[in-house]
Structure 1
Amino acid sequence: MLRFLVLYLALSLGANAAAAADLEALKAGEMRKLVVFEEPLPTPELPFVDETGAERSLTEFRGKVVVLNFWATWCAPCREEMPSLDRLQAEMGGEAFEVVTLATGRNPLPKIQKFFEEAGVTRLPMFKDEKQSIARAMGIAGLPVTVIIDAEGREVARLIGGAEWDAPEAKAILQAVIDG
């Protein structure tokens, strides 16, 4: 049994470096800004709230690749980027993939609703990290920041700043993470 565990660990460590190299090879266009981690990082199991005020957690999304977007209603680049995240969710969202948007800091629900309405966003959740606990735990210093989380709940890549998340190069990277 121990032998299989050691073999599995060795294979998984090699696979992580290979997977990182595969993602690096796919970086083009705006995705050149994407930082790919050779070793995936753990994500915090801290709570955030949904539009009803119910507590939620990133652990709910285990088993799916997640694009976790940190944003705020006052953030101009967030306003530009959000429609592409909405289109990405429409195209790729499902059993294997989900876009999770997390309004960080003071973002009252009416302002989030108005932001989504003005931006034409209809498919994304209105989650809030009001106390910025997740943002702080993940070292989010500015907005927008988008984190790619693998199906095991680990951060595999991060992009600081806005991007067109439904562009072919972004979808290619995400599909590679989904395919493992």
Structure 2
Amino acid sequence: MRKLKYFIVLFALLPFVSFAQKDEGTLTKIGDAVPVFNFEIQKGKSVSISDYKGKLILINLFATWCPPCNEELPEVQKRIWEKYKDNAGFAFFVFGREEGWDKLIPFKAKKGFTFPILPDTDRGIFKKFALQSIPRNILVDERGKIIYQSIGYEPKEFAALVELIDTHLKKAETK
């Protein structure tokens, strides 16, 4: 029954997924392996996205000046991060496109966000996924495969992402 519910949720997300697939600015697609990249997890300490294989990974690409990003991130804090930050099977990273620690640290403090907001000063990470348009969410399963992508912020689509994360993590708990 749980498996059926999982597939129903995935099926319900297909219209959103197909939009992302048709966007000419999107370089990755559902089913692709997540591109490998390194990033600073904190000032002076670098890791690889492959270090998180075995976890459900949510990657958010944004900019501090982006109105839809600033509408989405409080929802991310409340509906995803606060719920799953202590879940050992979940990892979440927000990358500031063309922004460094000097902008991101004060932005995070001002907004009261507690999730990782990390620099992508040269678009090195962003360019692995897209040519344009933010915010973007990319959900990667435990095997390192992209299972969801979105562009922009729309409450209905965001709710579908939250439901997919909920369903996926509940399914993982029952294994």
Work out whether 1:154 is the aligned partner of 2:141: no
Work out whether 1:170 is the aligned partner of 2:161: yes
Aligned to 2:110: 118
Unaligned runs of 5+ in 1: 1-14
- Residue 102 of structure 1: CA displacement? 1.2
TM-score relative to the length of structure 1:
0.73
Find the partner of 2:10 among 11, 14, 23.
23
Unaligned runs of 5+ in 2: 22-28
| Contact 1:85–1:99 (Cα < 8 Å) also in 2 | no
**Count of aligned pairs between the two proteins:** 157
- Residue 68 of structure 1: CA displacement? 0.5
Task: Work out the CA distance in 2 between the residues paired with 1:169 and 1:43.
Answer: 21
| Contact 2:30–2:149 (Cα < 8 Å) also in 1 | no
TM-score relative to the length of structure 2:
0.75
Task: Work out the CA distance in 1 between the residues paired with 2:76 and 2:147.
Answer: 18
Equivalent residue of 1:48, what SS? strand
Aligned to 1:33: 16
For residues 55-91 of structure 1, the C-alpha deviation after alignment (integer angstroms, 9 at most, x for no partner) is 2221121111111000112212111111222221110
Task: Work out the CA distance in 2 between the residues paired with 1:172 and 1:91.
Answer: 12
| Contact 1:34–1:160 (Cα < 8 Å) also in 2 | no
Aligned to 2:74: 83
Rate the CA distance shift 1:50–1:163 in 2: closer, same or farther, 3 A: farther
- Residue 126 of structure 1: CA displacement? 2.6
Find the partner of 1:98 among 70, 84, 91.
91
Q: Which amino acid aligns with 2:113?
A: V
Q: Which amino acid aligns with 2:16?
A: K
- Residue 132 of structure 1: CA displacement? 1.4
The list of structure 1 runs, each at least 4 consecutive aligned residues, that deviate by more than 3 angstroms after superposition, is 19-22, 31-39, 167-170
Rate the CA distance shift 1:137–1:96 in 2: closer, same or farther, 3 A: same
Q: Which amino acid aligns with 1:143?
A: I
Rate the CA distance shift 1:158–1:168 in 2: closer, same or farther, 3 A: closer
Work out whether 1:60 is the aligned partner of 2:88: no
Task: Work out the CA distance in 1 between the residues paired with 2:131 and 2:92.
Answer: 18
Bigger radius of gyration among the two: 1
Task: Work out the CA distance in 2 between the residues paired with 1:140 and 1:160.
Answer: 12
